[in-house]
Amino acid sequence: MDYLPIFRDVSERTVVVAGGGTVAARRCEIALRAGAFVKVFAEELGDDFRDIHEHPRLQHLPRCPRPDDFEGAALAYAACRSEEDDRRVAEMARAASVPVNVADRPELCDFIMPSIVDRSPMVVAVSSSGASPILARMIRAKLETMLPSAYGRLARFAGDFRDRVMARLKNPENRRRFWERTLDGPMASLVFAGDEQAAETLMERELEAAEAEERSGITGEVYLVGAGPGDPDLITFKALRLMQKADVVLYDRLIGDGILNLVRREAERIYVGKRPDDHTLPQESISEMLVRLAKEGKRVLRLKGGDPFIFGRGGEEIERLAEECIPFQVVPGVTAASGCSAYAGIPLTHRDHAQSCLFVTAHGRNGIVDLDWKQIVRPRQTVAVYMGLRILPELTDAFLAHGVDPDMPVAVVEKGTRPGQRVIVGTIADIAEKVREAGFNGPAMIIIGTVVTLRNKLSWYLPEESAGDVRPEGRFTGTL
């Protein structure tokens, strides 16, 4: 983050504006809207001042600002005609310890101006940290359409209730839950419809119910959520909704920052990552932790890579919850095999190539010997292998030993759907060596079957970042 976003109270304080053009007029307007006294320094004020030039809190001084004009000011804006004037204003402001913004000169700014959506008292500010103000404006325009103007009314209504809720619900957790329920439910609809009387009656009823709930003791719940293979755009709406509600999140090594950043900012984060060779936390402890946190009344988000029920041990975790009668929800996610295949241009099934697709893990209690080879080496089938990277040489040897054509195509997709995705295509005979040379270190999905040849045709149409940087070589000609 390049700038710290904050909201500054300037009411009843002085804001200095230097300049008489359009930008200066906008700065004056916004400062007046925030309740400031505005001193604007300009020989004359342009047309854009017509709506505000008689505002009782606007004072026009037809001269250049002097150092003492900045004393005690809350903020200063410079939008002069010349760079030299802008610089002088910035220097004077800084000498008086007043934060200054200079239009279009980020190098002279102590703070920058966001694009805003004003639903006062609700205000949304958007900034690109100066990188692309137009993009920030486009996002603001989207938000404008998403936030009905009645949100301002809703915020005011909630503000009037705040003290009452604070006094009657002692537990902050319960207060938050109360607000989330009411601000997203029928009460909000009533305020939007303009029936504040009915909304108030409903609020009172909800508050009584919440008090009764508090008296009876609270129980939390657990959300077992699949976060997909890595690209945050692949999570579901339901996952996002629950991620935004959680009090605490337990996450794995496979969960990237892009996804963690979507979890409610205030949620406590607990890393429970496991590696095949380094069990940070045994499965039992994770299940126990889920139980303990839920019993403390928390909403616990158990975030898992891919789909929680596909090689995710999600089933084991909820077994414990069920034993303890703790409510839970399970949210499916895009599993790594689907994510990797889509982003690498390899369909898992195809009429001409494979009528079935098998998901297997090569990482069992006793390694690959556990696999049911008769089922695996069937013709017209794609095999997607999870957790197979480290034992790829043994895996490919085993395929060969069970009679698979050495030319059988194989793709290995590393960091599928994430920035830096890499794809290597080879055959069952040479893939292990190619992957070793490329220095893959996972996570990686191994896709075995003639569908891999379709990548030649399909991957060229994928955007560069999703096609990976290792292009396929040659075409498969062998048969099973």
Give the residue numbers marked as catalytic.
252, 274
For residues 41-60, which are near ligand SAH according to CB under 6 A?
none
Tokens (6 digits) for 412: 């290995």
Residue type for position 339: G
In the shown chain, the binding pattern of residues 362 to 401 toward ligand SAH, with x for contact by CB under 6 A and - for none, equals ------------------------xx--------------
For the bound state, the minimum distance from the C-beta of residue 322 to ligand SAH, rounded and expressed in Å, comes to 20
Which helix (H) or strand (E) element contains residue 224? strand 221-226
Residue 196: exposure state from Cβ atoms within 10 A (0-12, 13-18, ≥19): middle
Sequence-distant (≥ 6) Cβ neighbours of residue 319 within 8 angstroms: 287
Specify whether the CB–CB gap between 385 and 362 falls below 8 A: yes
336 binds ligand SAH (CB under 6 A): yes
Angle ∠(383,385,390) on CA atoms, nearest 5: 145
In this chain, which stretch among 188-196, 199-207, 217-225, 309-317 interacts with ligand SAH, using CB under 6 A? 309-317
The window from 36-44, 187-195, 307-315, 372-380 that contacts ligand SAH (CB under 6 A) reads 307-315
User: Both tokens of residue 112?
Assistant: 């920058």
Query: Which of positions 221-260 make contact with ligand SAH (CB under 6 A)?
Result: 229-230, 254
Task: Please name the residues in contact with 61: beta carbons below 8 A apart, sequence gap of 6 or more.
Answer: 39, 40, 41, 69
User: Is residue 468 part of the contact set for ligand SAH (CB under 6 A)?
Assistant: no
Q: Which is nearer to ligand SAH, 114 or 305 (CB)?
A: 305
Q: How many residues in total does the chain contain?
A: 480
Report how far residue 83's alpha carbon sits from residue 78's, in angstroms, rounded to the nearest whole number: 10
| Binding of ligand SAH by 311 (CB under 6 A) | yes
* Residues 429, 172: Cα–Cα separation, whole Å: 61
| CA torsion, ordered 282, 371, 319, 297, to nearest 10 deg | 50
Number of neighbours of residue 266 by Cβ within 10 angstroms: 9
**Cβ proximity to ligand SAH, 223 vs 386, nearer residue:** 386
Q: Stretches 240-248, 293-301, 441-449, 462-470: which one binds ligand SAH (CB under 6 A)?
A: 441-449
- Out of 174, 182, 335, 453, the only residue in the binding site for ligand SAH (CB under 6 A) is 335
Amino acid symbol at 138: M
The pair of structure tokens assigned to 245 is 């509600």
Beta carbon of residue 343, minimum distance to ligand SAH (angstroms, whole number): 9
For residue 306, state whether it binds ligand SAH (rule: CB under 6 A).
yes
Query: In the numeric block, which tokens belong to residue 18?
Result: 């230097």
Q: If binding is defined by CB under 6 A, does position 263 make contact with ligand SAH?
A: no
- Contact pick of 444, 447, 448, 454 for ligand SAH (by CB under 6 A): 444
Q: Is 317 in the site for ligand SAH (CB under 6 A)?
A: no
Q: Is 418 in the site for ligand SAH (CB under 6 A)?
A: yes
Residue 114 or residue 306: which is nearer to ligand SAH going by CB? 306
- Residues in contact with ligand SAH, counted by CB under 6 A, come to a total of 24
Helix (H, G, I), strand (E, B) or coil at 162: helix
In the complex, the smallest distance separating the C-beta of residue 454 from ligand SAH, rounded to whole angstroms, is: 19
Give min distance, CB of 179 to ligand SAH, in A: 34
Nearer to ligand SAH, 259 or 454 (CB): 259
DSSP strands (E only) in 3-114: 14-18, 37-41, 58-61, 75-78, 100-102
Q: Which two tokens stand for residue 280?
A: 């940070």
Cβ nearer to ligand SAH, comparing 102 with 310: 310
Closest CA to 14 of 62, 50, 48, 61: 61
Residue of the chain from 310, 425, 452, 467 that contacts ligand SAH (CB under 6 A): 310
Q: Which residues contact ligand SAH (rule: CB under 6 A)?
A: 229-230, 254, 304-307, 310-312, 335-336, 340, 386-387, 413, 415-418, 442-445
